[in-house]
Amino acid sequence: MKLSAFMYSVRQGLKNIWRNKIFSLASVATMICCIMMFGIFYAIVANMNHVVQEAEQGVAVVVYFDEGTTEEQVAAIGDQIRAKTDIVSEVEYVSAEEAWIEFVGDYFKDNPELASGFEQDNPLANSNHYSIYLNDVAKQDELVKEIEQMEGVQRVDSNQMVADVLSDFNAVLGYFSMGIVVLLLAVAVFLISNTVAVGISVRKNEISIMKLIGATDFFVRAPFVIEGVVIGLVGSLLPITILYFIYKQVVQFVEMRFGFLTGIISFLPAGQIFGVLLPVGLLIGIGIGFLGSFLTIRKHLRV
Amino acid sequence: MIRMEHVSKAYTTGNPAVNDITLEINQGEFVFIIGNSGAGKTTLFKLLLKELEPTSGTITVAGQDLGAMKRREIPKFRRNIGCVFQDFRLLQDRNLYDNIAFAQYVIEENPRVIKRAVPAALASVGLAEKYKALPSELSGGEQQRVALARALVNKPQLLMADEPTGNLDPQNAWEIMKLLEKINEDGTTVLVVTHNREIVDAMKKRVIMLEEGKIVSDVSEGGYSHEA
Ligand SMILES: Nc1ncnc2c1ncn2[C@@H]1O[C@H](COP(=O)(O)OP(=O)(O)OP(=O)(O)O)[C@@H](O)[C@H]1O
Ligand SMILES: [Mg+2]
């Protein structure tokens, strides 16, 4: 298609929208609602995920060794664990001395002199261990089983329940939001498709003349596809822009009013949220607009 | 220009609308097609435009075998043919200039060409100064002249007019016919369906008469009177 023909299609597409104001407006409004809800949802889910991930960081798997395991063996185990970069985010070695110091700090804080009697004979002599932090708690179970098989490992402590709850929560949240978004998008496709169908019926006469004169199928269809895409574009750009400012306000408001929450909840910065939401939202909007008009054209414009 | 061999077209119900027609029309001819209502004249046009597929027979237009033509080749093919109808079929929402420019945009013509061709086409039907008017502001005769300008602006080899004067008074009908004759003199093959006895008799052109889908007469300098 030549540029001039493309520009003609764009002009016709925009004219369609204008001539068909009421329906176009309804489609844009629905689109705005859909993308708005999608955006709100995404912002919530992303922040929840963020909170969950931070919680995940705190979950550690602890690996203890058999009595008499040499330092070389311990180091070898550490290397093996570190190699699992898809599950493990960090491996920390805690020696028996450090374990003792930590223990003293926790339990003899108020009277350290009581602990000094043990100095020559560390009661935690066998408590040197690895603390392993994961980047995906869902795979904790698998990791624990593997480490238990390793030579020189005595036992592996983990808190499976915390891991299970966190990963389940993540999954449920994901499915739930996916479900709602898919539903909303179906509504949007339906509405755009209706708008384009009205546009086609209004222009039946014009279309039949075009075909007689020798317009290609592509040329006949282009204005309607453009109509759908423009509706999708406006219907997604507008709510995302609005949402951007609302999000900033809300974060500011919550952090001011509910300062005590900051230890538990930390918001993702607006830039990070909208760095994803803007391209994804535009893609969805334009995609829905394209799909809605394309399907309708195929049904009603058998050229 | 046109060759039809044993062409029949039956709609799903009733007798065939076009029944075993064989005919040849050469480049540069001016041909009237006459016949009673329901004789199959419009069906014949639709077959030539490949709007309809014949039930049997072969059709060749402008050197192309319509039966062998692929769907995506139809638009290019139709650019060889200009069409005019009894009801004008102008776009009511735009002025004359845009109505004619439309025909050129549709075939993806260069905008610079369009700027020159549209006023020329309007001038050729004597409506150059009315380019800003809407179709609803024109008389029937003027509207048909615009339709004619639109059919001609893409310089077709063949012009087909289905009862172009059906809605016009005698004077306007004559004006349209004179325009068609002039277009023909400039080299375009012209096919006109009409019920206008007086015009057919006066113009002394080739006349093909249909009856119940068959050609019942084909006379080179004929008139409506051959009917009897
Ligand atoms: N779409 C259709 N479906 C079924 N039958 C049709 C269809 N179009 C036309 N016919 C029938 O085919 C026959 C020829 O119709 P056609 O329109 O070709 O006649 P015509 O010569 O153009 O008549 P008129 O002078 O009234 O315009 C008629 O009997 C008509 O009823
Ligand atoms: Mg007819």
Tokens at residue A260, please?
């005590």
Are both B139 and B110 inside the same structural domain? yes
Chain A residues with beta carbon closer than 8 angstroms to that of B159: none
**Angle in degrees, CA A236, A237, A239, rounded to 5:** 70
Residue B49 maps to a domain: yes
CB B205 less than 6 A from any atom of ligand 1: no
Q: Whose CA is closest to atom 29 on ligand 1? A: B38
pLDDT higher than 80, residue A105? no
Backbone angles phi, psi at A152, to 5 degrees: 90, -5
Whole-angstrom distance, CA of residue A285 vs CA of residue A294: 14
Tokens 């329940």 label which residue?
A161
- Residue B104 located in a structural domain: yes
Task: Choose the closest CB to B106 out of A1, A2, A219.
Answer: A219
**Which of B105, B128, B155 is a domain's end point?**
B155
* Percent of chain B clearing pLDDT 90 (strictly above): 89
Range of the domain at B181: 1-80+156-228
B127 and B163 together in one domain: no
Confidence of residue A261 (pLDDT cuts 50, 70, 90): low
How is A268-279 classified by DSSP, letter by letter? PPHHHHHHHHHH
Q: Between B217 and A166, where is the model more confident?
A: B217
**Are residues B94 and B136 located together in one domain of the fold?**
yes
Neighbours of A61 (CB within 10 A): 24
Q: Supply the ipTM of this predicted assembly.
A: 0.87
The reply to whether residue A213 touches residue B108, judged by beta carbons under 8 angstroms, is no
Chain A residues whose CB is inside 8 A of the B77 CB are 214
Same structural domain for residues B73 and B102?
no
Write out pLDDT tens, residues B85-105.
999 999 998 999 999 999 999
Task: Say what percent of chain A tops pLDDT 70.
Answer: 88
User: How do residues B21-66 score in pLDDT, each as one tens digit?
Assistant: 999 999 999 999 999 999 999 999 999 999 999 999 999 999 999 9
CA distances (Å), B13 to each of A228, B9, B10, B35, B37, in order?
Answer: 40, 11, 7, 21, 17
Say whether domain A60-158 belongs to CATH 3.40.1190.20.
no
Q: How confident is the model at residue B227 (pLDDT cuts 50, 70, 90)?
A: very low
**Mutate which of B9, B34, B41, B214 for ligand 1 pocket (most atoms within 8 A of beta carbon):** B41
Q: Whose CA is nearest to atom 22 of ligand 1?
A: B42
In a shared domain, residues B11 and B107:
no
Q: Are residues B143 and B162 in the same domain?
A: no
In the sheet with B56-61, reading across from the earlier edge strand, the strands are B18-25, B2-9, B56-61, B64-65
Residue ending a domain, choose from B106, B131, B155:
B155
Number of domains in chain B: 2
Give domain limits for chain A: 3-54+165-299, 60-158
With a 6 Å cutoff on the Cβ, whether B166 touches ligand 1 is: no
Mutation site, B64, B72, B105, interface A, largest A CB count within 10 A: B105
| Nearest CA-CA distance, residue B67 and chain A, Å | 18
CA of B77: which chain A residue's CA is closest? Answer: A214
Note whether B150 and B171 are same-domain residues. no
Is B100 found in the same domain as B61? no
The rounded distance, in Å, linking the Cα atoms of A28 and A25 is 5
**B228 has a pLDDT exceeding 50:** no
Tell whether B187 is covered by a domain. yes
Beta sheet of B30-35, edge-to-edge order: B81-85, B158-162, B189-193, B30-35, B206-211, B214-219
Q: Residue B85 falls within a domain, yes or no?
A: no
pLDDT digits (tens, 9 = 90+) for A111-147: 767 667 666 677 777 778 888 887 777 788 888 888 8
Domain end (from B110, B140, B155): B155
Instruction: Kindly state whether residues B18 and B130 are assigned to the same domain.
Output: no
The CA-based angle A226-A232-A238, given to 5 degrees, is: 130
